[in-house]
Amino acid sequence: MFGYLAHIPQVLNWLLIFLVIVAAIIGLLFLTRGTAVRRVRSVGIDGTPVAPNESEFVLTIALLTGTPVLAGNRVEIALNGDETYPRLWDDLRSAKQSITIQMYYTHPGQVADTLTSILEERARAGIPVFLLYDAFGSRPAKAYMKRLRAAGVRAVPFRPLRFDHLWVVQNRSHIRGFIIDGKIGWTGGFGIDDKWLGDGHKTDQWRDTNVRFEGPAVRQLQVAFVAGWSEATGELLTGRITVDHYKDGVALAGLLYTAPSLGSTPAERYLALSISGAKHRFFVTNAYFAPDTNFVSLLAESAKRGVDVRILVGGPKTDVRAARLAAHGRYERLLRAGVKIYEYQPSTLHAKTFVADGIWVSVGTMNFDNRSLALNDESTLMILDTEVGQHMERVFFDDLSNSAEVDLAMFERRPAYEHLLEWGASLLTRLL
């Protein structure tokens, strides 16, 4: 009997080791969790998904993402820093009631200096200014935050990198959201850094697409800010600002705010519905193209059924080489299915847009990767409008004139070591 009892501590040690290993595996699977949607089909007789030009499409989007797509919005596409910052600075200087900002990336320089000066002036003029900055993406900007707080700006970090926040450390707020007086909204891929200055055609000037809008979608962007602010501060903000509706605006628009969740996410459902709904054309511009196998299949199937699927991604000047290598690991299957792939040449491509059938447009922060679809908070303006759709198609083809098309035969002849690098990068795609 005593001999049996002597083995109990050893058994307990092995049991503890086993539990630690299981917990580690569960934690790793949680940190790298992917998306669930594999295909889209209608419950109707032929199983054909709803297309963007059908009246049921926006209702389907609203039901499956939780975001209504509404009339009464004005929308202006702003390309690169040249079309973004001057207009944004004017909007901020005109604020008379409030400014709320949610920003992922901030870095010292001319752009940060200008923004800080404007916010200081508005705060000292008595305008309430609220700034929610991601603690990871805006780490180098601590000196700016001190200046802003001294001027009366409420500047708060989102999900600080602390031990008691480890369980959400991989879930970042990738949102870009500027709201002026509850009436003007901005989102897109831009950050507060000098590399976004310029026209996107020179090596040190990033190519990006942003959007300014007015109308009901602004309040949807405000919801994203309030959700982040309440988590960061425990303070739930409300207001009494009237929503303006514009008869001369786009047909329909809605601001999709997505946050991490278990299982199927609104972000993946939105993207899957858009890919499968396209009947004629689906043009994607995306900085970090590293989709899961499920989305590679959706794109390939669209091309096989006759949709003109074209994908513009970052080229040799991309800022994240691992993402480009991971994208290369998807090229062969897509190219064999008839998808056309292009790589932007002049500078770092950072835009996150698509246009389906020249009518359904997406402009925002969402990358075509697992991090955006499953792990990050993101903001995307959805637009159903022929004029905006045609404009975005012109932008797409203008970018193609500065891009190199990937040729399948040449791509297959790349060196063997690149296959190895692509395999290694693909292992990281759940976190990219």
**Other beta carbons less than 10 A from residue 79's beta carbon:** 18
Verify that 56 and 83 share a domain, yes or no.
Answer: no
Which of 233, 268, 283 finishes a domain?
233
pLDDT at 286: 97
**Is the domain of 416 the same as that of 271?**
yes
Count other C-beta atoms under 10 Å from residue 130's C-beta: 20
- Domain assignment of residue 309, yes or no: yes
Q: Kindly report the CATH number assigned to the domain that includes residue 229.
A: 3.30.870.10
In this structure, is residue 156 part of a structural domain?
yes
Distance, CA of 291 to CA of 287 (rounded, Å) = 12
Exposure of 198 by Cβ count < 10 A (0-12 exposed, 13-18 middle, 19+ buried)? middle
Contact (Cβ atoms closer than 8 angstroms) between residue 394 and residue 298: no
Total domains, the chain: 2
| Distance in angstroms (rounded) separating the CA atoms of residues 392 and 241 | 31
Assigned domain for 241 exists: no
The answer to whether position 13 is within a domain reads no
- Same domain, residue pair 94 and 57: no
Q: Decide if 250 is inside a domain.
A: no
pLDDT of residue 17: 74
Could you tell me whether strands 252-258 and 74-79 are parallel, antiparallel, or unpaired per DSSP bridges?
Answer: unpaired
Same-domain check for residues 86 and 51 = no
- Kindly state whether residues 283 and 350 are assigned to the same domain: yes
Predicted pLDDT at 45: 63
Q: Is residue 370 part of a domain?
A: yes
Residue 19 confidence (pLDDT):
66
Model pLDDT, residue 32: 62
CA–CA–CA angle 258, 51, 53 (5° rounding): 105
Same domain assignment for residues 90 and 151: yes
The pLDDT, as a whole number, for residue 419 is: 76
Provide the token pair at 34: 């992917």
pLDDT tens for residues 384-407? 999 999 999 999 999 999 999 999
Last residue of a domain, one of 233, 266, 284: 233
CB 249 within 8 A of CB 73: yes
Is 232:160 a contact under the CB 8 Å cutoff?
A: no
pLDDT at site 71: 97
Contacts of residue 226, defined as CB under 8 A and 6 or more positions apart, other chains included, come to 236, 237, 238
* Cβ atoms 358, 389 nearer than 8 A: yes
Containing structural domain, residue 336: 41-66+257-427
For residue 191, give the amino acid letter: G
Task: Return mean pLDDT, the chain.
Answer: 91
| Cα angle 220, 156, 161; round to 5 | 105
89 and 62 in a common domain: no
On whether both 202 and 265 belong to a single domain, the answer is no
Q: Is 376 helix (H, G, I), strand (E, B) or coil?
A: coil
pLDDT beneath 50: ranges in the chain: 2
Per the domain annotation, does 289 fall within a domain? yes
| Pair (184, 263) in one structural domain | no
- What is the per-residue pLDDT for 168? 75
182, part of any domain: yes
155 and 287 inside one domain: no
Same domain, 58 and 88: no
Query: Comparing C-alpha atoms, which of 188, 239, 226, 204 is closest to residue 84?
Result: 188
3-class SS of residue 132: strand
The verdict on 160 and 181 lying in the same domain is yes
pLDDT digits (tens, 9 = 90+) for 17-60: 766 676 555 555 555 667 778 888 887 767 789 999 999 999 99
CB neighbour class for 200 (10 Å; exposed up to 12, middle 13-18, buried from 19)? buried
